[in-house]
Amino acid sequence: MKYCSDCGGRVLLEIPPGDDRSRYCCQQCRRVHYQNPVMVVGCVPEWAGEILLCKRAIEPRHGTWTLPAGYLENGETVENGARRELMEEAGASALEMTPYGLYDIPHIGQIYMMFRTKLKDAEFKPGPESLKARLFSLDQIPWEELAFPVIRTTLENYYRDAAAGTFSFHIDNITQRLAEIDTGP
């Protein structure tokens, strides 16, 4: 950030009065521009015991498999955001959405909110950001070709919960170290 989005003046990193950390402060109108983490919403969509994954048609991680997820938009609820992403990326509709996990990724300023859901029917097709949409049984999940650590962690939790027969709400911190580990469950 170099310029104030309000007045076009130059901004500098300074600690505002009464604050305890650096913010972008406009040198002309004095407005403080706060920067906050961004929320990503998505789901684990199930059909007859299998999970719907999408093969990414966009960077980053073009060609890898992911759960339908994307940035929450202003004016929508987290549940509606997750439903929108499921439709946009996989052309699918879901029944009830159950909160399933909250994942912090502090080093990139993202928070993922993931739901569990069952598809309404067996209809799905890749959207513009997906090369393919495909159902995988839990024993066929392409662990070595997943897009992001948070997708792996969500699916690992799901795999374990399904094996145990009990699904509970998870809250996990996706650290930079975890992001570098590349092994399946």
Residues that bind its own copies (CB under 8 A): 1-8, 11, 18, 21, 33-39, 71-79, 99, 102, 104, 106-107, 109, 111, 113, 128, 169, 171, 173
- Please report how close the Cβ of residue 135 comes to its own copies at its closest, in angstroms: 27
Q: What is the DSSP string of 12-75?
A: EEE--TT-SS-EEEETTT--EE----EEEEEEEEEETTEEEEEEE-SSSSTT-EE-SEEEPPTT
Q: Residue 64 or residue 98: which is nearer to its own copies going by CB?
A: 98
- Please report how close the Cβ of residue 139 comes to its own copies at its closest, in angstroms: 29
For residue 173, the cross-strand partners are 104
Spatial neighbors of 170 by CB under 8 A, at least 6 apart, are 100, 101, 102, 103, 157
Helix (H, G, I), strand (E, B) or coil at 151: helix
- Please report how close the Cβ of residue 124 comes to its own copies at its closest, in angstroms: 20
CB-CB contact of 7 with 31 (8 Å):
yes
Q: Residue 49 or residue 75: which is nearer to its own copies going by CB?
A: 75
- Please report how close the Cβ of residue 65 comes to its own copies at its closest, in angstroms: 22
Q: Residue 128 or residue 165: which is nearer to its own copies going by CB?
A: 128
Q: Residue 82 or residue 146: which is nearer to its own copies going by CB?
A: 82
Cα(63)–Cα(45) distance, integer angstroms: 20
Q: Residue 45 or residue 81: which is nearer to its own copies going by CB?
A: 81
Cα(147)–Cα(157) distance, integer angstroms: 16
Helix (H, G, I), strand (E, B) or coil at 121: coil
- Please report how close the Cβ of residue 161 comes to its own copies at its closest, in angstroms: 15
